Structure 1
């Protein structure tokens, strides 16, 4: 089978983009369907699917053909597409693509529509990505998609603390304990949110603001807006809490009450007195000792 010829257009992948999303954007640029694009590149497509509930799994031979068509070096493409295989085995010539269904926790979310259009020669504004936590919000275009069930992005311009939290999160990443602090903080704020504790009024106000400018969050399947936007609503406080956790001294060099006072101040709370089984108190009194 002849090898794929380099394409006319160079479509830049988005960071951590789903392979199916990138291939579809490439097809949109050439005004082709995805099966037509793959067939023209000598890639055999098996089964059916569509993002975000399914991913396109390419063999190494198919990945090389896609890279040639995209006019992008395979290592560079692999860095951007986390599910794309990287293989230097020249004799692995099978070029096939298989649709694979994804569990809810593995599904990508919508990318910023303006960033997508900029990287798609204005052919489409739809892309699906697997963003790391510190890229939840696009600070340039004020868009976010905290849940794969949202088929449209959430516009966040009217909630400026989300962009501020994004920039604070970038500063947090410089700390060596940033990753563990983030995981802990997210678990704590998620528990608070689900049990309506400590920050309920603030989070309800933020949810109301987001719903006012994003009516589609109320019509997305059977999931409630409160659940679909949970990660976004709690984001500023999660970042703030994570930053505090990185500054607390280890071991017995702090008191629980002193830490709670500091955390309350950073969260702009007049008072913070969690119960004995609250995850924050458990962390401060047991996990860190």
Structure 2
């Protein structure tokens, strides 16, 4: 099997990019198909697949061949490509690649088209990235992709609060309880959204604006716009709630009313009176520690 030679083009990966997406962009830059590029790099491809339903898994030797071809050190590649694991299939000494089907929850979403074009020498605007909550929105180009079933990104200029929420989310990440607060907040706002509680009018208004600016939300066919855009619609309030939860003292039972007043203020509500079985009240009363 021939060894890979350094390539003449530098195509930088996007953060959290799917391995198959990066290899496809690299192939496009060289005006090759993905199998042709891998073959030229001395990597044997088995199986068939397409994004976002499948991902490309490379053996350790294939990872090194890819790093040589791209002239990007392997540690740098693995930081950008979360599914590129040079320790995967460690017993496999050949340079091999195989397609592996992904469950729906593992599938990547469309990347910002303008960021992609910038990283692709202007040749393509198509890329797929594994979703990360703090990277839901591209604040520079006002695009988002909340669901892998969407074949195009969602334009968010009509909802500037989404970009503001992105910046607030970056500040949240500096807090030591950021991950726990985000996970809790997202579970709560998702429940509110699905059960049409507390913020229904605001979320419906935002969804309507997004659908007006993105007709493909209503024509995807596989799911309703309310479901496809849910993570995006609730994003500002999820960030606001997460920041409020992260700032609360660890004293359940004693100050639930004070906490609710603070959270209502953060959410822009006059008052917030959740029922006894509301997930927020349950968290404040029984779970917080």
CA distance 1:211–1:286, shift in 2 (3 Å): same
The answer to whether structure 1 residue 12 and structure 2 residue 12 are counterparts is yes
Structure 1 counterpart of 2:282: 282
Q: Cα deviations across residues 195-227 of structure 1 (Å, max 9, x unaligned)?
A: 000000000000000001100111113200000
Query: Deviation of residue 252 (structure 1)?
Result: 4.3
Distance 1:90 1:286 in 2: 45
TM-score, normalized by length of structure 2?
A: 0.96
CA distance 1:21–1:88, shift in 2 (3 Å): closer
Distance 2:138 2:79 in 1: 20
Structure 2 counterpart of 1:197: 197
Secondary structure at the counterpart of residue 45 of structure 2: strand
Structure 1 counterpart of 2:53: 53
Q: Cα deviations across residues 122-181 of structure 1 (Å, max 9, x unaligned)?
A: 111011111321111001000000111111000001100000000001111111011100
Runs of 4+ in 1 over 4 A off after TM superposition: 87-93
Distance 1:80 1:273 in 2: 43
**Is the CA contact (8 Å cut-off) linking 2:2 and 2:41 kept in structure 1?**
no
Matches within 5 A, 1:132-211: 132-211=132-211
Matches within 5 A, 1:1-289: 1-87=1-87, 93-252=93-252, 254-288=254-288
Distance 2:97 2:89 in 1: 18
Deviates more, 1:251-260 or 1:176-185: 251-260
Distance 1:10 1:235 in 2: 35
Structure 2: which 5+ runs fail to align? none
Deviates more, 1:180-189 or 1:253-262: 253-262
How many residues of Structure 1 are paired with residues of Structure 2 in the alignment? 289
Deviates more, 1:193-202 or 1:90-99: 90-99
TM-score, normalized by length of structure 1?
A: 0.96
Query: Deviation of residue 86 (structure 1)?
Result: 2.2
Structure 1: which 5+ runs fail to align? none
Report the RMSD for the aligned CA atoms in angstroms.
Answer: 1.7
Distance 1:236 1:87 in 2: 38
